[in-house]
Amino acid sequence: MKTINYLLLFLLVSCISENKKSNNYSTKENATVYNGPIIDMHCHAFDRMFMGGQDYTNPLTGKTYKASSSIDSLRIETLAKYEEYNVVKAMVSNGELWYDHAPEKIIIGNNHTYSVDELKERFNNGKLMVIGEVAPNYDGLLPTDGSFTEYFDLAVELDIPIAYHMFPGGPPGGAYFFDSDIRAFHAKPLQFEEILVNRPSLKIYIMHAAWPYLDELKALMYAHPQVYVGLGAISWVLPRKELHHFLKGLVNAGFGKRIMYGSDQMLWVDTISDGIEAINSADFLTLEQKEDIFYNNAAIFLGFTEEEIQMHKTQ
């Protein structure tokens, strides 16, 4: 009888020990996964199907992203994905198309396809909160082109951010089938030097973080503390090892407080999931650093009040 009792006691202790190991492992894993509020600094709404409504297979990773079937389903599926991942705010280009469906969530962006006067009118009517996504490189124009000066000046005048697209421009090899004006050198960050020196109060964030020009971007961010970056498409276009290498370079250089999450969701809503998971899987980031990238940095950049931040973090 004693032998049986000892055996039962041994089995009980073993089960408790294994359960503790399992719980400790789970706790350790979950401790590095951020699940608080998120701000998406780069999304798109359309009034027609982007790229013909086609699924997209990423040639760098081999993953296929399924396209939403219609304009309405794109909005519905994107907002549902935002609920799933606790995305509380999103800067949406052409955001007025979605604003009435989620006014508490949508930050309306519009770009340089509008004249400066039209953008002023939209701002005065509450239909412009960010000048972006602006991407003159698709027309072969650099940020230093004189035709774009008035848009930087407008951002300063209205005291709102400007979201400037840099490389990648379209899919890999895009100059041969997507847009013949795209050039890789368009992404060189130091093009902004004189623009920034002449406008020290300019609120600007560089979409896609000027990949792959890491060293030049570090130089720009070192010299100009007003420059922020949004990760955008590189969070799901690039293989994760490359994304993590680039992101780690920025964090190691001391710029972790000026990096913001952005999905660049166009037509394929699973890019939101992949972008978020790519950042969460970066084992070199602390939970606090992930919170900065997902929420805190953008909240500061956008000028949220303490009340707004507290509301988002206690929802």
> What does pLDDT average to in each consecutive run of 10 residues of the chain (315 residues)?
40 39 36 93 92 90 96 97 98 97 97 96 96 92 93 98 88 88 92 97 97 97 98 96 98 98 97 98 97 98 97 92
Same domain for 280 and 177? yes
Radius of gyration for the chain, computed over Cα atoms and rounded to the nearest angstrom: 22
Closest CA to 15 of 26, 27, 7: 7
Specify the 3-state DSSP secondary structure of 288: helix
Residue 228, burial from CB neighbour count under 10 angstroms (0-12, 13-18, 19+)? buried
Alpha-carbon distances of 292 from 38, 42, 125, 220, 259, rounded to whole Å: 10, 16, 32, 20, 8
Q: What is the CATH number of the domain that holds 164?
A: 3.20.20.140
Q: What are 105's two structure tokens?
A: 């969530």
Q: What per-residue confidence (pLDDT) applies to 31?
A: 63
Same domain for 179 and 212? yes
Same domain for 52 and 118? yes
Residue 4, burial from CB neighbour count under 10 angstroms (0-12, 13-18, 19+)? exposed
Q: What per-residue confidence (pLDDT) applies to 174?
A: 86
Which phi-psi region, left, alpha or beta, contains residue 51 (left: φ > 0; alpha: ψ -120 to 50)? left
**Helix H or strand E segment including 24:** helix 2-30
Same domain for 26 and 104? no
22 vs 16: CA distance, rounded Å: 10
pTM for the model:
0.89
Closest CA to 195 of 136, 124, 123: 136
- The number of distinct structural domains making up the chain is 2
* DSSP secondary structure code for residue 305 in this structure: -
Same domain for 4 and 98? no
Q: What per-residue confidence (pLDDT) applies to 39?
A: 98
Same domain for 23 and 82? no
* DSSP secondary structure code for residue 306 in this structure: H
Same domain for 226 and 105? yes
Q: What per-residue confidence (pLDDT) applies to 11?
A: 38
Contacts of 280 (CB under 8 A, 6+ apart): 32, 33, 34, 290
pLDDT single digits (tens) 202-257:
999 999 999 999 999 999 999 999 999 999 999 999 999 999 999 999 999 999 99
> How much of the chain is helix, strand and coil, in % rounded to 5?
50, 15, 35
- The Cβ of residue 159 has, within 10 Å, a number of other Cβ atoms equal to 10
Same domain for 136 and 3? no
Print the domain residue range for 69.
Answer: 35-314
